[in-house]
Structure 1
Amino acid sequence: MSTATCLAASAVLPAVPVDVPRPMKPAFLDFFAGSGLVSHALAQWFDLAWANDICGKKAEVFTANHPGKPFELKSVAAVRGGDIPNAALSWASFPCQDLSLAGAAKGIRASRSGLVWEWLRVMDGMEERPPVVVAENVVGLLSSHDGRSYLELHQALLARGYRVGAVILDAVNFVPQSRPRVFVVGVRNDLEIPPSVVDDGPNWLHPASVVRCAGMTPAFVWWKLPQPRRRSRVLSDIVEQGALCHDAATSQRNLALIPAGHMRRLEESGLAVAPGYRRIRNGRQVLELRFDDVAGCLRTPAGGSSRQFLVIRHRDNWRTRLLTPVEAARLMGAPRSYKLPGSDTDAYRAMGDAVAVPVAAYLARHLLSKLIPGEHERT
């Protein structure tokens, strides 16, 4: 029945609920899209118009979970702004290797993290720059070169006509994984910003590292989001109980790396599982544990030091093993239906390089969707 027919019928019949089609969601672009967790997280508020990544393995994960969505397997350096559609939002989770505290800290002009400038170049070539932009990265962006890496990006967005601010959101608020990330959010100068999403100074989203960088520029927007409710799930809740542990000999070699103090704490903690990373301390390798029932930050499987171990109580003893791909996906907030084609290593890489689903969704719900003209009226 058409809308006109419904309206005419209402003059003679009692009013009945009518399913009015929801207006089309605003389009968004997913640069450095990886395994597609951002596209999944934003789907309730935005419609994916275009995505890209250079990694074929991650592209397999993306296309398996977003069939029919436009995806270009190529370097962002090969993308032309005139070839991609206009959109309300442009999201860029650009490479972190040159900004990570675990890396060489070469800064935002280095070859990998410097690909963020290609993102800006692509938008410069578009028919119209997107009204809202997001650049996501590790918190090292704020400390790299004493804050100058962040300041360069901030000023580049200001020069393109955006009002800009940065927030830190930690996945630990939503899932049992410690994963703080910085989100640089810009909105075009010609758009009105709803007062409800702006504060008059720092709030829970702005730790000292953000405040310090904000003090380096006279133009900084203090974005405001409500604090999330307390997380209820812990690491123990998502551990696959039937997953195969290392054999006794391998477990013993790993357990021997645990510092004596950590082993005592583990025995006294009452925990059934504790996560840990191998690290070099005082010239020797150790397996350092944490005892808050929260996993450490997931990383890509590039080298032994980045592989997260679980120490699991096995009857009256302890055994070790690596995280399973399913556990890694749960720690990123991916739904059980999310497909992870390829090897376990491919799955670790797909999750370790991604943005936690509930974090991106929270940002979309409470900030990004409200910055799009007209969207705040229906979110």
Structure 2
Amino acid sequence: MPGFYEFFAGGGMVRAGLGAGWDCLFANDFDARKGLTYQANWGTGGELTVGDIRALSADALPGHPDLVWGSFPCQDLSLAGHGKGLAGERSGTFYAFWDLVRGLADQGRAPRLVAVENVCGALTSQGGRDFEAMARTFAEAGYRFGALVINADLFTPQSRPRLFVVGIHGDSALPEGLTSPEPLAPFHTPAVIRAVDRLPDDLRDQALWWNLPTPPHRTQVFADLIEEAPDSVAWHTPAETDRLLALMSPVNRAKVQAAQRAGRRMVGGVYRRTRTDAAGKKAQRAEVRFDDVAGCLRTPSGGSSRQTILVIDGRRIRSRLISARETARLMGLPDSYVLPRSYSDAYHLTGDGVVAPVARHLAQHLFEPLVGSAIAAQAAA
């Protein structure tokens, strides 16, 4: 059974995606509350260490992992952040992560695969210099690397594009068919292609175009995940719903009217945003989407970043905050997954996680073929 480390583990959503065919050798997260959720779902077998990744050393890491995964913090790389990029306090933990990978290599335990995940802003942060720094870190550690942007809406009804960079150690063979000579849609987006094209020649020589199949067409829609009687949030009163509708522009009110004529139950995701009108005045607006997909779950710093839903059945319109269980379903987690009791903690956990079916797709079509071929080659030798 292949083994893995999961850094910035949160509630273990990557572990959920990898599945029972993978053995978690070590997990780490800084947040003690997330650590409690990790243990509630995965047990207390001792693999989880709660604390700052900067305080870890390779000596403390057990075994010889096949895969090391790191979903390092995005705050300094996101469009909503402060633009510090990999030089920032939180996103800069990317380098602490790689210190551990290099420490493993120094001890003869270099993982065959290293995967990192972050927001798509990492492709353009600091004018592309951050992506170049990421690529150089992979290359200087002895890994060829390939970047992909995978939107979770291929798997669950949530718009959540994320950047994944997967590196394979230079000593490992590449089975035929796992790479392409050229970029391929949908995972090599124009932004990925531009970012790779901007790399210096020595780094472009180390870049790979991973060849992943497109998943089957998703049939589940946002409305399928909605609870009628959620236990973490309450339905708004009619007056509260009217106030929400009053915050909508004419275009967004027209979306509501179209949903009322759809002839089926429609669920829309609503975010409140500050917009500037033609006269230069700022006002809060409620913006809704009715494309059967939720907006991207975000780590909430306040009420405006939490997603409100509109549920429309003909002329009847109801509204409320999205429930904790609904956010977990949007992350591809089963209803048996144990969530924190606090709504804020649950939303923070899911909004900061990796969509489990995306991790499963990477495992099935990339990690497992790469690890399996290496194990087979070792057995043959």
Same fold per superposition (TM over 0.5) = yes
Selected match of 1:234 from 217, 221, 224: 221
Partner of residue 103, structure 2: 125
Q: 1:249 to 1:363 in 2, by over 3 A?
A: same
Distance 1:207 1:313 in 2: 34
Selected match of 2:256 from 266, 279, 287: 266
Name stretches of at least 5 consecutive residues in structure 2 with no aligned partner.
Answer: 277-281
The one-letter code matched in structure 1 to 2:198 is: M
Q: Where do residues 126-205 of structure 1 align in structure 2 (5 Å cutoff)?
A: 126=104, 127=107, 128-204=109-185, 205=187
Partner of residue 303, structure 1: 302
How far residue 245 of structure 1 moved from its aligned partner, in angstroms, is 0.9
The one-letter code matched in structure 2 to 1:248 is: P
CA RMSD, 1 decimal? 1.6
Distance 1:71 1:293 in 2: 37
Q: TM-score, structure 1 length as denominator?
A: 0.90
Distance 2:317 2:84 in 1: 40
How far residue 103 of structure 1 moved from its aligned partner, in angstroms, is 1.8
Please state whether the residue corresponding to 2:87 is helix, strand or coil.
Answer: coil
Distance 1:323 1:245 in 2: 10
Distance 2:22 2:72 in 1: 20
Q: TM-score, structure 2 length as denominator?
A: 0.90
Would you say how many aligned residue pairs link Structure 1 and Structure 2?
354
Distance 1:170 1:272 in 2: 22
Q: Is the 8 A contact 2:174 2:370 kept in 1?
A: yes
How far residue 251 of structure 1 moved from its aligned partner, in angstroms, is 2.0
Q: Is the 8 A contact 1:369 1:375 kept in 2?
A: no
Partner of residue 279, structure 2: none
In the alignment, structure 1 residue 57 sits paired with structure 2 residue 56:
no
Distance 2:334 2:256 in 1: 31
In the alignment, structure 1 residue 66 sits paired with structure 2 residue 42:
yes
The structure number with the bigger radius of gyration is: 1
Name stretches of at least 5 consecutive residues in structure 1 with no aligned partner.
Answer: 1-24
The one-letter code matched in structure 1 to 2:196 is: A
Selected match of 1:95 from 73, 76, 85: 73
Aligned-residue sequence identity (percent) comes to 39
How far residue 317 of structure 1 moved from its aligned partner, in angstroms, is 3.8
How far residue 375 of structure 1 moved from its aligned partner, in angstroms, is 6.2
How far residue 242 of structure 1 moved from its aligned partner, in angstroms, is 2.6
Q: Is the 8 A contact 2:5 2:25 kept in 1?
A: yes
Q: Is the 8 A contact 1:370 1:376 kept in 2?
A: no
How far residue 113 of structure 1 moved from its aligned partner, in angstroms, is 0.5
Q: Is the 8 A contact 2:173 2:374 kept in 1?
A: no
In the alignment, structure 1 residue 208 sits paired with structure 2 residue 195:
no
Partner of residue 274, structure 2: 280
Please state whether the residue corresponding to 2:124 is helix, strand or coil.
Answer: helix
The one-letter code matched in structure 2 to 1:53 is: D
Partner of residue 331, structure 2: 332
The one-letter code matched in structure 1 to 2:217 is: R
Q: 1:95-148, CA deviations, whole angstroms, 9 ceiling, x for partnerless residues?
A: 000111122222112111010100001122222221110010011111111211
Partner of residue 17, structure 2: 41
Distance 1:194 1:376 in 2: 12
